[in-house]
Amino acid sequence: MSQMMDKSTENPGNDPVSTKSNGSIKSDEKTSTDGGINVGMMEKFRRSFRLPTRKNPPSPGDKESKLSPESDEPAKMLDSAASPQPPLPSLSPGSASTSPKNNQKKEDDESDVSSNKSKPLTPSNTDPSMPRFDNTFNRLRESFPWRRKKEVDTLPSEDLKEEKGLGDGSSATCLENEEKKEEDESDVSSLKSKPPTPSKTDPSMPRFDNTFNRLRESIRWRRKKEVDTLPSEDLKEEKVTPTFEEYLEIQAFCEATQQLIDREKHLFWETAEANKEAVEKLAADHKALEERVWQTLQQSLSLSSEEASVSALKSAVKAINLEEEQDQLWKQRSQTPPAWRPSEWKKRHDEVLQKLVNGRMDNPSSPTGDQVNQSSIQADIQSMDRQLKDDLQWVVEKVKNCYPPEMDICNFYARQYHQTFKARLRKIVGSVDDEDCSFLLRWVKESYPEILEKPELTSNINTEALGNLLPDELLKPLEEKYLSNQQSDLMIYIDRVLDEAKKEWDQGKEPTRDDGCYASAVAYDVIQFINDIVTSAQKIVRDPHKAQKITSNLTDFMQRYKEFHEDVIKQNKPHSKAFIKANLSCVKQFKDFLVKHDLFLEDVQKNCLPVLTEMKQSAHTYLLTPVHKVLKPHYQKVGTNDWLKKNTFEKLLNSTEEELQQLQGSSQSSYQELIGQLYQEVAEEYVRRLLKGEVKLKDSNQQQKAYETVKENAEKLHELFAEMGSKQDWLKEILTKIAEVLKLQDTPAIQMQIVSLGSAYPDLSEKHISALLKLKANLSKADKKTIKTTVLDILKESHTNAETRAFFSKVEVVGS
C-alpha cells in the first residue's frame, strides 16, 4: 500500500487533481508543528481527491476502462463512501446512514461536485495501468470507517454507545471484539512495516503517514475504551434464551413449561384471535413436554446417583405444579380454554406413580437363595417384601428431596404400596394351606409392621393412617386357623421331647453331666418351644389372651411327664437316681417358667404347679429315704441319757455329712432345696425324739445341761447344712426356743417362751406343749395345766391367717 502512495506522489504537477488539492491546502490550511493536520484541512484534502473522480468517470474508450475488476474496486468503494463519515456515526447493520449530519454533508459534496463539472479532468501522465492515488487513499479511508462501523455495531449496551457518541446497534460477543482487535492490529502492523515515502511535493504539505497515524491512534484509543468499559467477561457474551426444544434436551421441564404457559397466555389472553398454526404448534409442544415429564416420573424409583437425574425429577415436579396453577387460572376465566385445558397433571402424576408401584410389585427383584424351598405364595410375598423395603427407603432418601413438603410424597408412596399389598392379599387369603396361612399371618401382623416401624420411615410416614392390610372378616378365620395349627405343633414338639427322654431311660443311658450336674433336655426344649411359639403368636395376633390358648394342653403333658418320673422311681434301676436328679432340675425350671411368665392361662398355671410339686416331693422322698436309713441309729440316741454326752451327736453329724456328699448331682438350686428338705427332716426327727420323753430332767441342773446340749446341737447342725448351701435358718430358731423352755424355771417366763414358739409356728399343738412340759419333771401337774391353758388361750386369740412354715405338724407325738 505504501508503494502505491509513493507512485501517486511522484508527478504531482502532471495531475490536475493533485495540483488543485495542493493548492487548496496551501491557501486555506496551516501545517501543524508536529507534522499533523487539523480536521478541516483533512476534510478538504479528501474532498479534492473524491469529487472530480466521482463526477468524471473514465469513458468506455479510455484505457482505464480496460482495467481488471480488481482495479475497479477502489472506484466502487469511493462511490459508496461519497459522504464523509462522521467521527462516530450511528448505523444499523445492513442499512445506509440517514442521520441529519450525513444528509448535510452529502448536500455539501454535491454542491462541490456541481462546481467542478465545468472543469474536466486531464488524464494522468502516469502509466494507465497504475491505480490512481485518489482511489488508493479512498480504499484506505473506507477500510477504517467500515471497521469503525463494525465496532459500533458490537457495543454491548445503549449506555455504552451513548458514551462513545454512537447510535443504535446490536451487541457482539467478547470473542468477536477480540478477533476484530487482532485484525486491526495486524493491518496496522503491516502498514508499520513499510513506512510511506516522503512526499516530493511542497515541503509545507503535511505528510500522509502522519495523517494515517493520527487516524489509526484515534481508532485504537476508541477500541480500547470500548473494551475497557465492558461490564464483565460474562456480559461480553450475549445471553441467549434457550428454545423450547433446547429446554427439553437438557431436561429443564420447569422452564419449558413456563415458556409454553407464556405462549399460551399471549395466544389466548393477549390477542383477539389466536393464530391457528401457533395454537397447533403450542399443542404439539405441550404434548411433547407432557410425555417427557411422565417418562421422568416413571424413573423416580430408579434414579441414578447423578445430579442431573435428580435435577430432572425436581424440574418435572415443578412443571406439574405450574400446570396446576395454570389450570386454576383458566377456571377463573370465562373464555373457552384450549383443548389441553385443564391438563390435570397432578391427577395424572398420581396415576403414573400408582402404575409404577403396581409394576414394581408385579415384577419384584429376583428371589434370593432362601426362597428356593418356599411355596410360590411365600416366595412372592418375600420378593414383594424386599421390594417394598428398598423402594420406601429410596423414597425417603432420594425422592423426598425432589418434592415440596406440601405434596407429602412419602405418605403418598406408602399408601400406594399399602393398597397394592392389600389387593394382592385379598386374592390369595382364601386358598392358603396351613403352612402358607402361618407365613401369611406372620407377615401381615409381624413383618410388615416391623418394616414401617423403622426409625427412618416412622419420621416420614404416618403408619397409623394406613390401617390393616386385611379386614376383620378375613383376618379372624386366619387367626383361628393359625392358633389351632400352633397349638397342634406345640404338642407334637414337646411330646417328641418326652419320648426321646423315655427312649434314653429304656436304653439304660444316664443323663449327661453339665458342670458336674445331671441335666435333662426335657425342660430346656419344652420351654424353648413354648416361649418361641407363644411369643410369636402374641406378636402376630396382637392379643396375649388368644396366644395363651396355645398352651391349654400343657397340663396333659405335665401329667405324662409325672408318670414317666414315677415310673423311673418305681423301677429303681441303677441309673434311676441320676434320672431323678436330672428331673429335679427340670421340675425347678418348669416351676420358675410357669410362675414368672405370662405365656399361660391361669387355669394352666393352677393345674400344672401342683403336679410339679408332687414330682419334687416324690423325688426328695426317693433320694432322702436311704439317708434316713443310715442316720436312724443316731436318731435313736437323741433324748436319752446317752444323748447328753457329746460324742453321741457328733456321730450323727459325721454320718449326715457323708450322705450330703452322695446327694450331689442335681442343679445348684435343686440341690439347695434337697438338702434344705433333709435339714428340716433331721430337725423334725430330732424334736420328735426329744419330745418322746425318754429322759427326765428332775432338777434345774439337768435342765441347764439339756439347754446347753440342745443349743449346741442346733448350732452345729445349722453350721453343717449351711456349709452345704442350705438357707433354712429358721430351723435353728426352733431348736433354740425349745432349749430356752428347758432352762427357764419361772412359770410366767415359761408361759411367755412357749407363746413365742407357738406364735411363730401355729401348728404347735396341745400335745406338743404337754410333751415339752413333761421333760421338766420338777413342775407340778397344776403348774403344767396352768401354763398349758394360758398358752393355748393366748395362741387362740392371737391366731392369724398369715402364711407360716409348717414344722410341728410333721412331728408326731405319742401320748400326751
Mean pLDDT for 806-811 is 92
Q: Which sign, positive or negative, has the C-alpha torsion 62, 66, 69, 71?
A: negative
Indicate the residue type of 568.
V
Q: Are residues 344 and 369 in the same domain?
A: no
Q: Are residues 55 and 135 in the same domain?
A: yes
- Which pLDDT score is estimated for 472? 87
- Phi then psi for residue 420, to 5 deg, are -65, -45
Burial class (CB in 10 A: 0-12, 13-18, 19+), 508: exposed
Q: Are residues 344 and 372 in the same domain?
A: no
Q: Are residues 519 and 658 in the same domain?
A: no
Global pTM exceeds 0.85? no
CA–CA separation, 382 and 234 (whole Å): 57
Residue 475 lies in a domain: no
- Which pLDDT score is estimated for 645? 76
Output 539 or 415, whichever has higher pLDDT: 415
The residues, any chain, with a CB within 8 Å of residue 71's CB and separated by 6 or more, are: 131
Grid-cell match 426344649, residue found: 525
- Looking at the DSSP assignment, which residues form a beta bridge with residue 330? none
Q: Are residues 50 and 193 in the same domain?
A: yes
pLDDT digits (tens, 9 = 90+) for 620-632: 999 999 999 999 9
Residue 18 lies in a domain: yes
pLDDT digits (tens, 9 = 90+) for 203-242: 444 444 555 455 555 555 454 444 444 454 444 455 688 9
- Which pLDDT score is estimated for 363? 85
Residue finishing a domain among 319, 353, 387: 353
Output 7 or 282, whichever has higher pLDDT: 282
pLDDT digits (tens, 9 = 90+) for 547-559: 999 999 999 999 9
CA–CA separation, 424 and 760 (whole Å): 70
Give me the number of domains the chain comprises.
Answer: 5
Residue 358 lies in a domain: no
Grid-cell match 449496551, residue found: 157
CA–CA separation, 316 and 310 (whole Å): 10
**Which range marks the domain in which residue 390 is found?**
364-470
- Which pLDDT score is estimated for 396? 93
Mean pLDDT for 361-382 is 76
Q: What's 532's domain CATH number?
A: 1.10.357.50
Mean pLDDT for 92-110 is 42
CA–CA separation, 442 and 478 (whole Å): 10
CA–CA separation, 606 and 566 (whole Å): 21
Among residues 589, 672, 583, which one has the least CA distance to residue 619?
583
- Which pLDDT score is estimated for 214? 58
Residue finishing a domain among 619, 649, 672: 619
Q: Are residues 153 and 276 in the same domain?
A: no
The 3-class SS string of 49-70 reads HHHHHHHCCCCCCCHHHHCCHH
Least confident of 372-376, 559-563, 715-719: 372-376
Q: Work out the percent of the chain whose per-residue pLDDT is above 90.
A: 49
> Contact at 8 Å (CB) between 773 and 753?
no
Q: Are residues 665 and 780 in the same domain?
A: yes
Q: What is the largest CA-CA distance in the chain?
A: 188
Residue 359 lies in a domain: no
> What is 120-138 written as a DSSP string?
PPPPPSS-TTSPPHHHHHH
Residue 625 lies in a domain: no
pLDDT of residue 477 exceeding 50: yes
CA–CA separation, 360 and 384 (whole Å): 8
Residue 628 lies in a domain: no
CA–CA separation, 551 and 555 (whole Å): 8
Q: Are residues 505 and 449 in the same domain?
A: no
CA–CA separation, 526 and 506 (whole Å): 21
Residue finishing a domain among 439, 470, 501: 470
Q: Are residues 147 and 48 in the same domain?
A: yes
pLDDT digits (tens, 9 = 90+) for 134-180: 554 455 455 544 444 444 444 444 443 343 333 333 333 333 444 44
User: What 3-state class would DSSP assign to 97?
Assistant: coil
Residue 791 lies in a domain: yes
Planar angle of CA 279, 281, 285, nearest 5 degrees: 115
Q: What's 768's domain CATH number?
A: 1.10.357.70
Q: Are residues 389 and 266 in the same domain?
A: no
Least confident of 277-291, 295-309, 324-338, 655-669: 295-309
pLDDT digits (tens, 9 = 90+) for 19-76: 333 433 333 433 333 444 444 555 555 555 444 444 444 444 443 333 343 434 433 3
Q: At what angle are helices 766-774 and 781-797 packed, to 10 degrees?
A: 150
- Which pLDDT score is estimated for 275? 84
pLDDT of residue 608 exceeding 70: yes
- Which pLDDT score is estimated for 368? 53
Q: At what angle are helices 307-331 and 253-269 packed, to 10 degrees?
A: 20
pLDDT of residue 409 exceeding 50: yes
Confidence of residue 308 (pLDDT cuts 50, 70, 90): confident
Residue 752 lies in a domain: yes
Among residues 536, 667, 551, which one has the least CA distance to residue 608?
551
Pairing mode, strands 517-518 and 513-514: antiparallel
- Which pLDDT score is estimated for 695? 87
- Which pLDDT score is estimated for 573? 93
- Which pLDDT score is estimated for 41? 52
Q: Are residues 341 and 373 in the same domain?
A: no
Q: Are residues 213 and 101 in the same domain?
A: yes
Confidence of residue 586 (pLDDT cuts 50, 70, 90): very high
Mean pLDDT for 724-734 is 91
CA–CA separation, 312 and 299 (whole Å): 10
pLDDT of residue 243 exceeding 70: yes
The overall average pLDDT reported for the chain is: 77
